[in-house]
Structure formats: C-alpha cells, structure tokens
Amino acid sequence: MSVLPRDQVDTRARDIRCLFLDIDGVLTDGHLYIGPHGEETKTNFVRDGYGIKLALRQGLELAVISGRPSEAMRKRLEWLGIRHIALDTEDKEPAYLRMRDAMGLTDAQCAHIGDDVPDVPLLRRVGLAMTVADAHDSARAVAHWISRHDGGRGAVREAIDLILAAQDRLPR
C-alpha cells in the first residue's frame, strides 16, 4: 500500500461513515508532560476540536482508540460529543472490530488516522488509511493519505475536512 492519487482518496472518502482517531501523536503532538506525582498532561489543538464537533453535526461518526489511559482526555472527548471511546487498549484491532460491528459498518465504511506501529493493523484494514505528516515510517508505509499538518497541529481537522468535502457536507 502507498499514498494514493487524490481522486482515489476522494472516492474512498465518499464511503466513510466513521473516522477512527488515535490520540497520542494525532490528536496531540505526542508530547507527554509528566508531573511530580507521575500524572500526565497533554495538549489539545482547538481547531481539531472544532472539526470534531463539525463532523458529528454533519453526520460523520467518530471513534477513538488509544493505547494509553487518560481520564482527562476521556472527559474532553465526551464533551466534544464522541460516544465511541476505547482507552488503555494495548491491541487496537479487537476494539476496532467491536466498535465497527456495533455501528453495523464494513471496513470500507471506516477510516483510521494513526501515527505509529500500533495503528498499522487498523490502517491495513480500513477503507481509508490516513496518517499525519510527522508519522513514524511504519504508518506512512501503509497510508493512503498523509496530512500536510503534523499530529496535534491540525492533522485531524484536515482529515475531517477531506472526508466531509468528498461527501459534499463541508459547510462553506
């Protein structure tokens, strides 16, 4: 698999009903700030948050699967309106399959945006495999599409805009 010409990306994007998101390195820039008691803090990008709300309002479902636990992140994702959230998930594929089936979707109707080795099984499976500009080579090698923006810096917004635009659902 390798990056596809834009018209083929748009063709795949037209079928997408749910975009699965990775957190670290995709919704965040991948940095973890470790406090004196071991507590983790990470940054979120407001433009991505707006894109998430926009996607849900326009009928594009969103799901999040992350290998790390984070109650603060769960709160923000729930506040943004995301209902499908699996955190602290070492192996992402079973969580993906469970959510996909619960939504009654096929792989061709799912997109995933992830940036590293744990995302590769999902990227190989979904109809539209997306990664970020500063992704690890493992994710780049199997992606259909690579964002211009880095993770935590607008990559998720770019992916949402692409899918909504392909479906003629991006408000002007």
Residues belonging to the binding site for substrate are 24
| Closer of 62 and 164 to Mg ion (Cβ) | 62
Q: Are 25 and 151 in contact (CB under 8 A)?
A: yes
Taking residues 14 to 33 in sequence order and writing x for each that binds Mg ion by CB under 5 A, - otherwise, the string is --------x-xx--------
CB of residue 89 to Mg ion, shortest distance in Å:
12
| Closer of 25 and 51 to Mg ion (Cβ) | 25
* Selection from 26, 106, 101, 96 nearest residue 63 by Cα: 96
| Closer of 116 and 134 to Mg ion (Cβ) | 116
* Whole-number Å distance between alpha carbons of 78 and 141: 32
152 touches Mg ion by CB under 5 A = no
Q: How many CA atoms lie within 13 A of 119 on its CB side?
A: 31
CB of residue 118 to Mg ion, shortest distance in Å:
7
The torsion defined by the Cα of 157, 159, 163 and 166, in degrees rounded to 10, comes to 100
CB of residue 34 to Mg ion, shortest distance in Å:
17
Q: Are 116 and 96 in contact (CB under 8 A)?
A: no
Q: According to CB under 5 A, which residues from 105 to 134 bind Mg ion?
A: 115-116
Residues near Mg ion, by CB under 5 A: 22, 24-25, 115-116
